[in-house]
């Protein structure tokens, strides 16, 4: 069950992530309403040591709680111009992989699904915990 009953609730959560989780160095996540009843979340969450979580979500709320219609999450380390993406070799990212059950194609995490009901809060928590 989605913990968010409206787009407004989700916006408040997304934009307060850096305040809730001090390990987040910076967040460029933006929620954009694209239609009357659907929206997108896109951007990056930056963590210490150059880890970047690239996020895309398509959201809808036909007649109730927010639903994630599709998503893409990628974990990278380094810059876009040639530095290898970090993968399961990292204990930190292993933590994310195990707890969040992400799929991995080797060095890059790619996940997509028509429906998921994983709490965003839990996911961010697991990143934070594996950081310690």
Partner 1 sequence: MTLDDILQDIYALEAEMRAYERKYGVLSETFYESYMKGEEPPDEAWVRDWTAWASAYKIWLRRREQYQTTIESLRANTRTIAEMIAKTARHEPISISA
List residues near partner 1 by CB under 8 A.
34-38, 40, 56, 58, 60, 62-63, 69-72, 74, 108, 110, 112, 114
- What's the min distance (Å) between Cβ of 6 and partner 1? 14
Reported in sequence order, the residue ranges of the chain that DSSP labels E, i.e. its strands, are 26-27, 30-33, 38-46, 51-60, 67-77
CB nearer to partner 1: give 110 or 122: 110
CB nearer to partner 1: give 8 or 112: 112
Phi, psi dihedral angles at 98 (to 5 degrees): -70, -50
CB nearer to partner 1: give 16 or 28: 28
DSSP annotation of 16 reads T
Using the Cα atoms of residue 10, residue 70, residue 40 and residue 97 in order, give the sign of their dihedral.
positive
Q: Which residue has the tokens 């970047």?
A: 52
CB nearer to partner 1: give 15 or 37: 37
Among 79, 73, 13, 6, which Cα is nearest to 45's? 73
- What's the min distance (Å) between Cβ of 47 and partner 1? 20
CB 93, CB 75: distance < 8 Å: yes
- What's the min distance (Å) between Cβ of 131 and partner 1? 25
- What's the min distance (Å) between Cβ of 8 and partner 1? 17
């Amino acid at each position: 069950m989605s913990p968010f009953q409206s787009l407004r609730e989700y916006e408040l959560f997304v934009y307060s992530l850096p305040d809730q989780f001090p390990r987040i160095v910076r967040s460029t996540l933006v929620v954009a309403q694209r239609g009357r009843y659907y929206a997108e979340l896109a951007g990056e969450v930056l963590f210490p040591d150059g880890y970047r979580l690239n996020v895309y979500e398509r959201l809808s709320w036909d007649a109730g709680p927010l639903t994630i219609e599709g998503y893409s999450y990628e974990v990278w380390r380094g810059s876009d111009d040639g530095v290898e993406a970090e993968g399961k070799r990292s204990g930190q990212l292993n933590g994310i992989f195990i707890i969040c059950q992400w799929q991995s194609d080797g060095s890059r995490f790619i996940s997509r699904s028509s429906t998921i009901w994983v709490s965003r809060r839990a996911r961010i928590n697991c990143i934070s915990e594996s950081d310690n």
